Amino acid sequence: MTQTHLWQAMMAVIFIGWLLFGMAFVVRKPTAHSKEKKRVSASFGAIALQGAGFGLTWSLRRDSFTPIFPAIMPVQLVMAVVAIALVAFAVWMVNAAVRTLGKQWTLAARVLEDHALITQGPYRIVRHPIYSGMFMMMIATGLVVGTWIALLAGSVVFLLGTLWRVRLEEKLLIETFGSQYLEYKRKVPAFIPWKLPAPGSA
């Protein structure tokens, strides 16, 4: 396999990955609607910042079918495997999260009158698996088509937007579920599946 063939194949993987990623939000089982109890409109500002992160990542494109930095073929193969793994995990995580949320999935931060605290499925791994999937897709796409500068800048902006949105959403969830959500928050990381040990822990 030549370098050109490798990155042509990776472009196809990214394209298919984004199709499957988007289908998670489009192809959903219809669910009964519940009355909205509270909504935080500021969450759309955080969404815009996340979108700007994607825009930055894709704004500086490198030469087609080349690696993100000069490397021998074995290293390029490793980068390709990492990108494929990120796409596969992102697609699974987002599809599983949307199915698990059901009627509670929404673009805006809100709670319903019969809102339930979801802790099963991918929510056992992270508290915000959809943001995890978005971040993984962004990194995979940057590895395949972007420059390292654009990927770095886009990641910083995306993470700022994500942290803002997580803060808004979790304030709402703490108001709704109180100590139940605080205990869940203590045990499960936000959107990167790794958690620093608590101070003083072994």
d(CA 7, CA 13): 9
| pLDDT tens digits for range 49-66 | 999 999 999 888 888 889
Residue 126 has pLDDT above 80, yes or no: yes
> CB-hemisphere CA count at 13 Å for 3?
14
d(CA 41, CA 45): 8
Q: How confident is the model at residue 111 (pLDDT cuts 50, 70, 90)?
A: confident
d(CA 160, CA 114): 31
CATH of domain 3-25+34-187: 1.20.120.1630
d(CA 38, CA 56): 32
Return the pLDDT at 28: 65
- Phi and psi at 48, nearest 5°, equal -60, -40
DSSP letter, residue 197: P
| Mean pLDDT of all residues in 119-147 | 94
In degrees, rounded to 5, the angle at the alpha carbon of residue 134 between the alpha carbons of residues 130 and 137 is 135
Share of residues in the chain with pLDDT > 70 (%)? 92
Give the count of beta carbons closer than 10 Å to the beta carbon of residue 58: 16
Return the pLDDT at 34: 65
**For the chain, what are the domain ranges?**
3-25+34-187
